[in-house]
Amino acid sequence: MRKAKVNLDQEKLLISSEILRALAHPLRLKILEFIDKNDSINVNKIYNTLKLEQSITSQHLRILRINGLVITKRDGKYIHYSVNYDGILNAVNSVNNFLALTETEEKSVS
């Protein structure tokens, strides 16, 4: 077993954990799936269709936006949301790469 220095960038680790937390929430996943089905949609249609409170929907959209998982575009008084597929793909690929690495290491230890 080799020993190596662990050098973590605290800021990148915090950002990564926030992205994963944003993606792991069931309601945010439901909102992302709904946006995906509609390509681009405003908050009114999201909360009316999903039967959510406007304030809760806005809070979850804010978390998705801050973490780069949705893209916003203003059209007059409306803000339209669309999925940031590149951002989600990057997060999913990173997790999959990490899991594949740990599986390989587990097999080599066995």
Residue 81: per-residue pLDDT: 98
One-letter identity of residue 17 = S
The full set of domain ranges for the chain reads 21-100
Q: Is the pLDDT of residue 105 over 80?
A: no
Higher pLDDT, 59 or 7: 59
Q: What is the CATH number of domain 21-100?
A: 1.10.10.10
HSE-CB for 13 with a 13 A CA cutoff: 5
Cβ-based burial of 83 (10 A; exposed 0-12, middle 13-18, buried ≥19): buried
Residue 28: per-residue pLDDT: 97
Confidence (pTM):
0.83
Helices (H), the chain: 10-24, 26-38, 43-50, 54-66, 85-109
